[in-house]
Chain A
């Protein structure tokens, strides 16, 4: 619908919307996060969900202990290589549509433990991360901002067409390969479908 006509109608007290708009409006205001924390960022995530910062203002206070009921995975903390397969498997077990927020320096890049032999250098090597939050740890306000960013992203998703999100596309995968423990590292070291090594330009 034409935007000009829409605002003209609105002045006359006639409100119009689209199926897509209602669908996304409903989804963006009831995103249920998965209740799990990996490290210290989880404390900030807990603070964000409690009374002082109050994530429930955005409809996301219902932290679900089961991946079957969750929409949003907040990867809050250091992902060790021991933990990475479990995180990916939990993501696979979530129902579509599902989103990922990588919270904190460790979850987005390995953070201060990047050189460690046992730390995954960012969960985006295995999962399609929607919003990255830098910080060590990020303040609850940063998580709120990330959440609002995710809401904007959900609101802009199209219901049909080539740019429709993954969960509406029958060809796009719902599950991502779970890494196995190899002799020295996880096998494979990353999922080429979601991450490729940045090219160095010197």
Chain B
């Protein structure tokens, strides 16, 4: 006799899925019904205000930021990551070959050259 369960082994998943959707939507529906039958909606100017700390908001939220700090942060990040490379370099310094030494010096030179370039462009001066 063949087992009838084997034919629809996805049925429990389907039932679970339906239950999960009902579990999510039934409270929302009940809340909606409660609002219709008992509790009226009461929107208002203060209630719908965006800011909610008692003070009235002034001005527009669409203001322009200066993007200068972004460059500052990027340069900081580059040298922050550089220290991660410098630390093992310093620890293993005495045992390094010429090739390894030179390649790290080139790496450092590239970064320092970038910093000098940024310096000359005036990125480091806060305006």
Contacts and interface: CB of A to CB of B under 8 A. Distances in A.
B60 interface: no
Contacts of A173: 42
Contact of B52 (A66, A169, A175): A66
Interface residues of B, number: 15
A96 B43 CA distance: 10
Interface in A134-175: 159-160, 167-170, 173-175
Contact of B38 (A89, A159, A178): A159
Nearest to A164: B38
11 contacts: A68-B52, A89-B46, A89-B55, A93-B46, A93-B47, A93-B49, A96-B42, A167-B42, A168-B40, A175-B46, A175-B47
A86 interface: yes
Interface string B19-44: 00000000000000000001110111
A92 B46 contact: yes
Nearest to A97: B39
B36 to A, nearest CB: 12
B44 A92 contact: yes
A56 B20 CA distance: 32
Nearest to B39: A168
A175 B40 contact: no
B54 interface: yes
B98 to A, nearest CB: 61
A19 B75 CA distance: 64
A38 to B, nearest CB: 11
A92 B56 CA distance: 12
A67 interface: yes
B39 A167 contact: yes
Most buried by A among B40, B45, B54: B54
Given A96-B39, A159-B38, A168-B38, A90 B47 contact: no
Contacts of A120: none
B52 A178 contact: no
Given A89-B54, A90-B53, A174-B42, 7 more contacts: A89-B46, A89-B55, A93-B46, A96-B39, A168-B39, A174-B47, A178-B46
